[in-house]
Amino acid sequence: MTTSTSIGMTTSTTTITAAVAREHGQPLSIEQVELDTVRPDEVRVRLVATGVCHTDAIVRDGAYPTPLPAVLGHEGAGVVEAVGEMVPDIAVGDHVILSAAYCGTCKRCRAGQMAYCEHLFAEDFGGRRHDGTTALTDPSAGTGAEQIISSHFFGQSAFATYANVRSTSVVVVDPDVPLEVLAPLGCGMQTGAGAVLNELRPAAGTSLAVSGAGAVGLAAVMAARIAGCTTVIAIDVHDSRLALAAELGATHVINGKQTDTHEKIMEITGGAGVDFIVDTTAIPALLASAAQSLALRGTLALVGAAKPGTEVPFEIGASLVKGWTFKTIVQGSAVPQVFIPRLVQLWKQGDFPLEKLTRPYRLEEINDAFADSASGAVVKPIVVF
């Protein structure tokens, strides 16, 4: 790749290697594509590693409206190689973790609630810059519109060797942290940990259950331990993941295929129910059941992504006197530039050992990574460049 950083800008389009999603429900293809010049509000990042997230899979399969073909990937980490002239506080050579993009100017962003940006779908799933352009093209695919490949997925499109990244997606971290380990902090781990530490904020001595012990759920388990919850229940259908949850801080585990989850929670809590439940599955039947397992004034929080239009039937008769709360949480209600460095510090002191969840893959093995994640064979695959 040929670039120039003499004034912090690239001078021409360059050829990069990327995993391209071309058809819904089909494997990604490894291709040579063209990356255009860095815009004034962007930085160019040489990717070191990118986590594979469930959201990548559901976008590949058409649940969310990113136009295909597209380069997905939204848990990138790498080294800055060029900086747009309008970008402050980021320099060539900085080590960065990439997170979700946000506009920075709407009411929610200005209130410090970037996870709830009023333009979230356009910023993260639109596949285009604000001016309608894309950073990626396929010069072998004819002319004009036929060449267009959606870019800037979550502001980054990190299943590629290089990316032009929206500056709001960039979080600078210490150069001594291993990017190939900490890349997943940008989405999944931030979502699970932030749901607990930023949004639910359980008091020490309270109880919390997590439905789904994948990467997001296990991040929530670790965060519950950090917060001082004394009853932490992990629920899943894979014994291997439940064993890992116990290693990471769960005091109890429940295999939902083998045990009635509601009855077991009530047994564990002496009939009182659990104070907080974090659901990572977005499965309506599991959410409806979880609501019945809440303690008085308990909170059920959904962090899992479902297809728009999905509905959940909640019982509201006997529930009225329980005063329980249902809420949805996006990106752990985090400001990435604030929260991700906090998670890095927790990792440094051994309280957030996310490396116990991961397995590295080469870019050429990315479809294996998706398959292993879907089967439960691996909790958090990471593509390492």
In sequence order, what DSSP letters do the residues of 161-227 get, joined into one string?
Answer: SEEEEEGGGEEEE-TTS-HHHHGGGGTHHHHHHHIIIIII-PPTT-EEEEE--SHHHHHHHHHHHHH
How do 95-98 and 76-83 pair as beta strands?
antiparallel
pLDDT of residue 211: 97
* Count of CB atoms situated within 10 Å of the CB of 216: 30
pLDDT of residue 9: 39
What do you get for the CA distance between the two ends of the chain, in Å? 14
Helix (H, G, I), strand (E, B) or coil at 332: helix
* Count of CB atoms situated within 10 Å of the CB of 72: 29
How far is residue 280's CA from residue 363's CA, in Å, rounded to a whole number? 27
Structure letter (DSSP) for residue 294: E
Structural tokens at position 297: 């004034």
Structural tokens at position 181: 């380990």
Contact (Cβ atoms closer than 8 angstroms) between residue 343 and residue 365: no
Q: What is the mean pLDDT of each run of 10 residues along the chain (385 residues)?
A: 38 87 96 96 97 94 92 98 95 97 96 95 94 93 83 97 97 96 96 98 98 96 98 95 97 95 96 97 93 96 89 89 95 96 97 96 98 93 97
CA-to-CA separations, 359 to 48, 213, 223, in angstroms, rounded: 15, 16, 21
How far is residue 139's CA from residue 32's CA, in Å, rounded to a whole number? 9
How far is residue 148's CA from residue 20's CA, in Å, rounded to a whole number? 12
How far is residue 293's CA from residue 262's CA, in Å, rounded to a whole number? 6
How far is residue 247's CA from residue 22's CA, in Å, rounded to a whole number? 39
Left (φ > 0), alpha (ψ -120 to 50) or beta: where does 363 sit? alpha
Structural tokens at position 305: 């992504």
Domain 14-186+353-384: which CATH number of 1.20.120.80, 3.40.50.1820, 3.40.50.300, 3.90.180.10: 3.90.180.10
Residues of the chain with CATH 3.40.50.720: 191-330
What residues are paired with 31 via a beta bridge?
18
Burial class (CB in 10 A: 0-12, 13-18, 19+), 349: exposed
Burial class (CB in 10 A: 0-12, 13-18, 19+), 53: buried
pLDDT of residue 7: 31
Nearest to residue 98, comparing CAs of 85, 79, 119?
A: 79
How do 207-211 and 274-279 pair as beta strands?
parallel
Domain boundaries 191-330, CATH class? alpha beta
Nearest to residue 224, comparing CAs of 206, 237, 240, 236?
A: 206
Structural tokens at position 123: 């910023």
